[in-house]
């Protein structure tokens, strides 16, 4: 039975259950396949209409049309790819997360004047990496102080 014949019979008020029984499938399956092909029941017109994209597949048999329309998706591959991308994002983020030492139990607030351009870049990096600005500044200062101490040791005369 072609899709056109099925739609015509449904629009002539023949029961979906009877047509589905002739096609040896459940009414739910037939309804689902018709929806997948782009047909919906219009409550105002009291009939099934085609709202899908492209040309209406009235001349095709139901199984042919469903086979053309339905592309089997391997969800395991999709899930694996999504998990891989999430894992990579987490790895990048972990690489950027700055760890404060456990021995630092006390913190103090200070106010500094910093160039506006540097602050704007700090804001962007903070949002992009999901790290608080104070942690970024603290790590940057630690790196600076370590370099300063190393260079200070290499020049003991100063």
pLDDT at 98 over 70: no
Highest mean pLDDT among 7-11, 59-63, 84-88, 134-138: 7-11
Confidence label for 156 from pLDDT (cuts 50, 70 and 90): low
Tens-digit pLDDT profile for residues 113-122: 889 999 999 9
pLDDT at 51 over 90: no
What pLDDT score was predicted for residue 26? 92
What pLDDT score was predicted for residue 145? 86
Q: What is the mean pLDDT of the chain?
A: 81
Task: State in Å, rounded, how far the first CA of the chain is from the last one.
Answer: 96
What pLDDT score was predicted for residue 33? 86
Nearby residues of 40 by Cβ (< 8 Å), 6 or more positions away: 48, 49, 51
Q: Tell me if 66 sits within 8 A of 33, measured CB to CB.
A: yes
What pLDDT score was predicted for residue 19? 92
What pLDDT score was predicted for residue 111? 86
Q: Tell me if 93 sits within 8 A of 129, measured CB to CB.
A: yes
What pLDDT score was predicted for residue 28? 92
Confidence label for 110 from pLDDT (cuts 50, 70 and 90): confident
Nearby residues of 36 by Cβ (< 8 Å), 6 or more positions away: 66, 69, 70
Mean pLDDT for 67-90 is 76
What pLDDT score was predicted for residue 140? 86
pLDDT at 38 over 90: no
SS3 of residue 11 by DSSP: helix
pLDDT at 139 over 70: yes
Strand partners, 42: 47
Which segments of the chain does DSSP mark as H helices, in order?
A: 3-11, 16-22, 27-37, 62-69, 75-96, 116-129, 133-154
């Amino acid at each position: 039975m072609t899709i056109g014949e099925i739609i015509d019979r449904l629009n002539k008020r023949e029961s979906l259950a009877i047509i589905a029984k002739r096609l040896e499938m459940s009414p739910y399956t037939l309804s689902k396949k018709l929806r997948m092909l782009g047909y919906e029941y219009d409550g105002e017109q009291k009939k099934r209409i085609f709202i899908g994209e492209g040309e209406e597949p009235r001349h095709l048999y139901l199984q042919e049309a469903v086979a053309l329309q339905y592309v089997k998706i391997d969800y395991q591959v999709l899930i694996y790819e999504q998990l891989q991308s999430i894992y990579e994002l987490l790895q990048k983020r972990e690489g950027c997360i700055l760890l404060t030492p456990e021995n630092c139990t006390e913190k103090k607030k200070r106010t500094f004047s910093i160039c506006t351009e540097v602050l704007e870049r700090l804001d962007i990096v903070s949002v992009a990496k999901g790290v608080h600005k104070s942690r970024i500044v603290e790590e940057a200062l630690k790196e600076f102080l370590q370099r300063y101490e190393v260079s200070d040791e290499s020049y003991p005369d100063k």
